[in-house]
Structure 1
Amino acid sequence: MPSYLSRRERPEVRCINFLCAVLLTLVLVAGIIMFVLWLSLRPHRPKFFLDDFAIPNLNRQSGAVNLPVSFTVGEHNPNQKVGIHYDEIFGTVYYNDLVVASGTVYRPFYEPPKGDTPLRGQLTATGPTPGDPAWQRFAADAAAGSVALRLLLNSTVRFQVKVWDTKEHHMKVDCEFRLRGDGTLQQEGKNKQCTLYF
């Protein structure tokens, strides 16, 4: 056998090398396409902003029981192609560790991509009363015109990409703010972004 034939690859080997190169190229292209799709469809968390909060007559001497608690939290879906399904939203207002008011504040709803919804809540205060250990501090803060409160919103959410829904995620929104003595939101608390936990 001539020596130049031994140095040339056999046709079977060249065919296998060509098929491997084509297969690797297809895998690389498919990987890039999947990565770009994942980046474009990856859900981003919603954003929440405290727009308003009020407890009228907060500084009355008979306690905060039965006072109306009203607030508006702005919800924004930053996703371009991903919608968000919210289950019922439950809200709790705290003064330190004392529950001031709690209850369901919003019905289940769907937020389309790039959508905004003002979550308007109405609750009734259950405390503090003059008999509570925290009442003296609460009354002193109200008299000084600066009552520190927290609003917690809890719900379960699912992200929707086209017709596909993700698994459920428990969501907690934590808004910290201060009220004036008359029960209205201090200016620096307006449109303040709340902390979101998943």
Structure 2
Amino acid sequence: MVLVAGIIMFVLWLSLRPHRPRFFLDDFTIPNLNRQSGAVNLPVRFTVDERNPNQKIGIHYGTIFGSVYYNDLLVASGPVVQPFYQQPKGDTPLAGELTASGPTPGNPAWQRFAGDAAAGSVALRLLLNSTVRFQVQMWDTREHHMKVDCEFGLRGDGTLQQGDKNKQCTLYF
């Protein structure tokens, strides 16, 4: 009897266990990246595709905050997307726009940044932070902190390198 109950509980756990969402970097641009007056006040635009692989489990997202880094230097940050609900087996493009706060021409990192842009490849990281709750019909799980980390390269003109388009981002819970 205990064995049968254990097998039933195991099958229920397997069928109701949520799978993590998947994130893919679709597009990223910083127009006028190669200008000489620094990256301050430049628009930083990106699109990340979020995919929910769960058959019967939806996902509630809290406000998503984005940060863009060049090495360890914060280039831009701020809120990207307001809270939303992701349907099971759904895909949602998350379009964000931030304003760059650096590097400035007076910053020593600007020389490296401008040199990388002139060479045609600037390595950047996009971090997205939020909280998520999984929903199975009428039951919600507790909130989990989620961090999405996308590493990619920009061409000298400020557009995403072709090899990084639709690249899967790393997800941490």
Which one scores higher on RCO, CA 8 angstroms, separation ≥ 6?
Answer: 2
| TM-superposition CA deviations, 1:62-96 (whole Å, max 9, x none) | 00111111000000011111111000000000001
Structure (1/2) with the larger strand percentage:
2
Structure (1/2) with the larger helix percentage:
1
Letter in 2 for 1:69: V
> Does 2:30 match 1:61?
no
Q: Which residue does 2:107 correspond to in 1?
A: 132
Identity of aligned residues (%): 84
Describe the SS at the equivalent of 1:121: strand
Q: Which residue does 2:12 correspond to in 1?
A: 37
- Distance across 2 between alignment mates of 1:77 and 1:29: 32
- Distance across 2 between alignment mates of 1:70 and 1:195: 20
Q: Any unmatched runs of 5+ in structure 1?
A: 1-25
- Distance across 2 between alignment mates of 1:107 and 1:116: 16
The alignment yields a C-alpha RMSD, in angstroms, of 0.7
Aligned pair partner of 1:181 in 156, 166, 169: 156
Describe the SS at the equivalent of 2:124: strand
Q: Provide TM-score, normalisation by structure 1.
A: 0.86
Letter in 2 for 1:154: N
Q: Any unmatched runs of 5+ in structure 2?
A: none
User: Where do 4+ consecutive residues of structure 1 move more than 6 Å?
Assistant: none
Q: Provide TM-score, normalisation by structure 2.
A: 0.98
Larger radius of gyration: 1
- Distance across 1 between alignment mates of 2:7 and 2:72: 50
| Equivalences, count | 173
Shift of 1:27: 2.4
